[in-house]
Amino acid sequence: MKHLLGTRGLPRDAAIALLDIAEDMAAVQEREVKKLPTLRGKTVVNLFFEDSTRTRISFEAAAKRLSADVITFSAKGSSVSKGESLKDTAQTLQAMGADGVVIRHQASGAPQTLATSGWIDAGVVNAGDGTHEHPTQALLDAFTIRRRLHGADSRGRDLDGIRVVIVGDVLHSRVARSNVWLLSTLGAEVELVAPPTLVPVELSAWPARATYDLDAALANAPDVVMMLRIQAERMHAAFFPNTREYSRTWGLDDARFHRLPPSTMVMHPGPMNRGLEIAARAADSAQSTVREQVANGVSVRMAALYLLLSGDRGGLS
């Protein structure tokens, strides 16, 4: 795999292979010495044009546990905030000998531009671009679902027949997009539930169906309910009347949570708006996978960096 830019088009066997490597990485995390020498001497740059403490430290931990040297480059307070272009930043990293670049950018497609422009030779991992993709989030979600279902017997498994309901701001969510592509590739059935203003106008090509009624979707006892974060800026752009109405109609409140079977997983990519899209009781329940998602994130990102930066990079992509 030369780059990991998205889950759209990621072959099923490649996705399962990555998840299996993440299982190996997770096993290492349970040892006393959590560090592997695999990427010793390699340099990984975390290039963050958008604030994201969670994703950044997750990638940082992943790279360090593989013994890579990690450089973190935040746009805030750097030359980028003084108007340096993506091209100049990329060429600076190239000159410093970066082997891998983990990029978070507010513009959809920026990781692809970085990977295909010829500005840099490094392998590129998309850590979230605009409203486009967030592939490692989807991979860690798939990993989490698989582990909850199959435990130690997860290796080699797909998600055939698993029913997933994704709820919230699909229109602006890169997490939703990456999950729709990946989970359906792995065999899951995906249903999107959102106010009509917060789904793309045309979804016929998506391997998912969109509905507006959360209660109806939950009444089918899905295996997974994934709640998406409502961004503050949406609240002032007429996507819905106000947060009270949103929460009442599309939030996972106590009543809805209690109607779910105990086997249904409750997921959230974080950070959560407790009381808005998800009630505290649901978030903190045994059905919630929120903390596992964070832990699994490190394993999945280790697997991605391993595939990109160790040895044969032509193998997967």
Partner 1 sequence: MTERFLITGATLPTGEHADILLEGDAIAEIGRITDAAGATVIDADGLIALPGLVDLHTHLREPGFEQSETVLTGTQAAAAGGFTAVFAMANTFPVADTAGVVEQEATLGRTAGYASVQPIGAVTVGLKGEQLAELGAMARSRANVRVFSDDGFCVADPLLMRRALEYVKAFDGVIAQHAQEPRLTEGAQMNEGALSGELGLTGWPAVAEESIIARDVLLAEHVGSRLHVCHVSTAGSVEVIRWAKARGIDVTAEVTPHHLLLTEELVTSYDPRYKVNPPLRRAEDTEALRAGLADGTIDIVATDHAPHPVEAKESEWDAAANGMVGLESALPVVHAAVVETGLLDWADVARVLSSEPARIGRLPGRSEGVAVGAVAELTLYDPSAASVFDVDRLAGRSSNSPYLGRTLPGRVVATFHGGYATVLDGTVRPADEVARLAARRLEAARG
Do 296 and 147 touch, CB atoms closer than 8 A? yes
Which of 57, 200, 313, 316 is in the footprint of partner 1 by CB under 8 A? 200
Q: What are φ and ψ of residue 257, in 5° steps?
A: -60, -40
Which parts of 209-238 interact with partner 1 (CB under 8 A)?
A: none
Which of 50, 99, 129, 223 is in the footprint of partner 1 by CB under 8 A? 129
Q: Where are the alpha helices (DSSP H) in the chain?
A: 12-29, 53-65, 86-95, 110-116, 135-150, 174-185, 214-219, 243-250, 254-259, 280-283, 290-309
Distance CA 304, CA 17 (A): 10
Which parts of 153-182 interact with partner 1 (CB under 8 A)?
A: 171, 174, 177
The reply to whether 50 sits near partner 1 by the rule CB under 8 A is no
Residue type, 266: V
The reply to whether 133 sits near partner 1 by the rule CB under 8 A is yes
Which of 3, 42, 56, 132 is in the footprint of partner 1 by CB under 8 A? 132
Do 240 and 260 touch, CB atoms closer than 8 A? no
| Contact range with partner 1 by CB under 8 A, out of 57-65, 156-164, 204-212, 305-313 | 204-212
Distance CA 63, CA 69 (A): 7
Do 218 and 193 touch, CB atoms closer than 8 A? no
Minimum separation from the CB atom of position 203 to partner 1 (A): 7
The reply to whether 106 sits near partner 1 by the rule CB under 8 A is yes
The reply to whether 79 sits near partner 1 by the rule CB under 8 A is no
Q: What six digits make up the tokens of 3?
A: 């780059």
CA angle 140, 153, 67 (to 5 degrees): 50
Residue type, 124: V
Minimum separation from the CB atom of position 134 to partner 1 (A): 10
Which of 32, 202, 233, 312 is in the footprint of partner 1 by CB under 8 A? 202
CB nearer to partner 1: pick between 152 and 205: 205
Which of 85, 197, 211, 263 is in the footprint of partner 1 by CB under 8 A? 85
Partners of 192 in beta bridges: 166, 210
Footprint of partner 1 on this chain (CB under 8 A)?
A: 8, 85-87, 105-110, 112-113, 116-117, 129-133, 171, 174, 177, 200-206
